[in-house]
Amino acid sequence: MSNIPSDLKYAKSHEWARLSGDIAVVGITDHAQHELTDVVFVELPQVGKDLKAGDTCAVVESVKTASDIYAPLAGKITEVNQAVADNPALVNTDPYGQGWLFKMQVAASEKGSELLTPEQYRDQIGGA
């Protein structure tokens, strides 16, 4: 059964966001890393980049495939996780901790109303 922390918000496309003030930390879910397996490469966005919710902004690659990562919220990239670029396996071993991908300053207009609650996300992935 996938780990779905109760203090996070989720995107339908399997990213999580940890909000504090106007900063969101973003990564991919335990379910997503389990589906991908063996993350071998992570391509992170440029710091300073402005994104709309749903924009492609990173790529996570397993042995088999490349998967696009989407911005769960509108905002500006403020920081990327160099540790995960150097050691992509952190996405597998600690998806909600050391495996975070980037931080963004959430746009003032962004309400986050498209994001799912942990319960809604669990329903989306079929209770898995």
Does position 63 interact with other proteins (CB under 8 A)? The reply is: yes
Give the containing element (helix H, strand E) for 33: helix 30-36
Query: Do 33 and 92 meet the contact criterion of CB atoms below 8 Å apart?
Result: yes
Q: Which is nearest to 28 in space by CA: 97, 122, 105?
A: 97
Q: 37 or 117, CB closer to other proteins?
A: 37
Q: 61 or 94, CB closer to other proteins?
A: 61
Burial of 64 (0-12, 13-18, 19+ CB in 10 A): exposed
Does position 52 interact with other proteins (CB under 8 A)? The reply is: no
Q: Fill in the per-residue mask, 69 to 108: x = in contact with other proteins (CB under 8 A), - = not in contact.
A: ----------------------------------------
Q: 59 or 125, CB closer to other proteins?
A: 59
Q: Which is nearest to 98 in space by CA: 36, 28, 13, 38?
A: 28
Binding-site ranges for other proteins (CB under 8 A): 37-38, 40-41, 43, 59, 61-64, 66
